[in-house]
């Protein structure tokens, strides 16, 4: 009798465990467990994953850049293969084009930084002259002389030279790391041709899942390619326009405008501020006004007219999501994460929209309800 009573409690526990297992296996919620707990556990898991990515960001960042380049190159790669170009030859052509682009990019950045350091004394003298003009103008309006500062505090010329040397050294180190990015980029392009077959072999009985995956990949390829093309056009238009206006370092500001075009609204402002300041310091008020008009015109024409027409439908993010994306991805991956924050969030949004169960989250991330 005592033996049966001793076994009763473990048997009851076993039955309860079997019931919980049955509920989990049938994908039913555990009774009396609020929905908030599921969200709490999911949020905690997301934080753990992001913290883990941050810990290995030095390894993930080159692969992330390579994946971004591979996605942007998928459309021209497929175009060349449809025209009869062999796969390895097409991959090698794209590899050489991207490698040459990075090489020219680093040469332009290094040259611009070194030239800027050499012209620092001229900029300081011009800033002092502009400040004196502003001071005389305010005194002409009746502002007392003692209420205005005598001179504007500026850092020493050596500070600009040291900063330029530091930036140039960082560019050189980044150039060495680019080899890993290009190597991973080439292997990802080689994998692209076998991806459809791998999906079919991995999910042989899930035709609907394969269709959703293909739609998601096509949407990602289209978004990244169009965004890359419009960003390149933005940088090219800004660089040529600033060159015609006579602003110093037009190539540098064009590169900056193209890269920051991936960040809507905030990116165009950040790219315009240094270029307009250099136009003011190196030229004058007329050049600064023309540079401002150039940035406004290019960003409105490409960002508000051309890009939405190419996308075909709204793929924007709400302003709050843009800000949160910058903070989160910047915390996880540093400057690379901030640069790719919007493409990464857009990929997550497209993935959520591809599944009926999570489509509502993608709608909440959008800038409008569709």
Q: Among the listed ranges 82-86, 96-100, 242-246, 319-323, which one has the minimum average pLDDT value?
A: 319-323
pLDDT band, residue 6 (cuts 50/70/90) = very low
pTM of the predicted structure, to 2 decimals: 0.69
Question: Over the stretch 192-205, which tens digit does the pLDDT of each residue have?
Answer: 767 666 666 666 66
The residue among 257 and 344 whose pLDDT is bigger is 257
The residue among 248 and 339 whose pLDDT is bigger is 248
Question: Is residue 210 pLDDT above 70, yes or no?
Answer: no
Contact 127, 152 (CB under 8 A): yes
pLDDT band, residue 240 (cuts 50/70/90) = very high
Q: Among the listed ranges 153-157, 209-213, 278-282, 306-310, which one has the minimum average pLDDT value?
A: 153-157
- In percent, the amount of the chain with pLDDT more than 90 equals 6
Q: Per-residue pLDDT averaged across 324-339, rounded?
A: 83
List own/partner pairs for 69-73 with CB under 8 A and 24 or more apart: 69/98, 69/181, 69/185, 70/185, 70/188, 70/189, 70/192, 71/220, 71/221, 71/224, 71/225, 72/224, 72/225, 72/228, 73/98, 73/185, 73/189
> Average pLDDT over the chain, rounded to whole?
75
Question: Is residue 241 pLDDT above 90, yes or no?
Answer: yes
Among 252, 269, 273, smallest CA distance to 322 is for 269
State the maximum Cα–Cα separation within the chain, in Å, rounded to a whole number: 108
Q: Per-residue pLDDT averaged across 66-79, rounded?
A: 83
Q: Among the listed ranges 159-173, 238-252, 271-285, 329-343, which one has the minimum average pLDDT value?
A: 159-173
Question: Is residue 331 pLDDT above 80, yes or no?
Answer: yes
Q: What is the pLDDT of residue 3?
A: 43
Q: Per-residue pLDDT averaged across 104-133, rounded?
A: 75
CB-neighbour burial class of residue 283 (10 A; exposed 0-12, middle 13-18, buried 19+): middle
Give CA–CA dist 217/145, Å, rounded: 65
Give CA–CA dist 228/72, Å, rounded: 7
Give CA–CA dist 11/279, Å, rounded: 82
- In percent, the amount of the chain with pLDDT more than 70 equals 73
Q: What is the pLDDT of residue 297?
A: 92
Question: Is residue 31 pLDDT above 60, yes or no?
Answer: no
- Joined together, the tokens standing for residue 343 give 């493409």
Q: Per-residue pLDDT averaged across 100-118, rounded?
A: 77
Q: Where are the alpha helices (DSSP H) in 26-119?
A: 35-55, 57-82, 87-118
Q: Per-residue pLDDT averaged across 319-337, rounded?
A: 82
């Amino acid at each position: 009798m005592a033996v049966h009573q001793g076994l009763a409690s473990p048997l009851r526990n076993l039955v309860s465990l079997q019931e919980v297992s049955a509920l989990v296996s049938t994908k039913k919620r555990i009774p009396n467990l609020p929905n908030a707990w599921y969200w709490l556990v999911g949020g905690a898991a997301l934080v753990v994953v992001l913290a883990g990515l941050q810990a290995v960001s030095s390894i993930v960042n080159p692969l992330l850049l390579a994946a971004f380049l591979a996605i942007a190159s998928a459309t021209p790669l497929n175009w060349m293969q449809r025209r009869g170009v062999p796969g390895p030859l097409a991959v090698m052509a794209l590899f050489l084009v991207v490698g040459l682009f990075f090489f020219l990019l680093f040469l332009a950045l290094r040259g611009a930084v070194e030239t800027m350091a050499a012209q620092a004394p001229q900029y300081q003298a011009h800033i002092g002259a502009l400040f004196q003009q502003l001071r005389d103008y305010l005194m002409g309006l009746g502002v007392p002389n003692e209420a205005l500062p005598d001179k504007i505090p500026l850092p020493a010329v050596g500070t600009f030279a040291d900063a330029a040397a530091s930036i140039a050294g960082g560019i050189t180190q980044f150039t060495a790391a680019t080899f890993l990015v290009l190597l991973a980029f080439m292997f990802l392009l080689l994998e692209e041709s076998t991806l459809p077959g791998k999906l079919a072999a991995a999910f042989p009985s899930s035709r609907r899942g394969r269709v959703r995956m293909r739609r998601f990949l096509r949407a990602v390829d289209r978004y990244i390619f169009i965004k890359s093309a419009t960003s390149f056009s933005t940088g090219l238009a800004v660089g040529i326009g600033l060159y015609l206006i006579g602003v110093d370092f037009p190539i540098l500001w064009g590169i900056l405008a193209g890269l920051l075009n991936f960040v809507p609204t905030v990116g165009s402002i950040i790219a315009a501020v240094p270029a307009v300041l250099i136009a003011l310091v190196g030229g004058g008020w007329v050049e600064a006004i023309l540079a401002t008009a150039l940035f406004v015109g290019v960003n409105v024409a490409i960002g508000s007219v051309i890009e939405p027409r190419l996308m075909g439908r709204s793929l924007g993010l709400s302003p709050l999501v843009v800000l949160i994306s910058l903070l989160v991805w910047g915390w996880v991956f540093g400057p690379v994460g901030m640069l790719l924050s919007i493409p990464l969030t857009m990929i997550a949004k497209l993935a959520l929209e591809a599944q009926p169960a999570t489509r509502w989250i993608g709608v909440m991330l959008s800038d409008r309800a569709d």
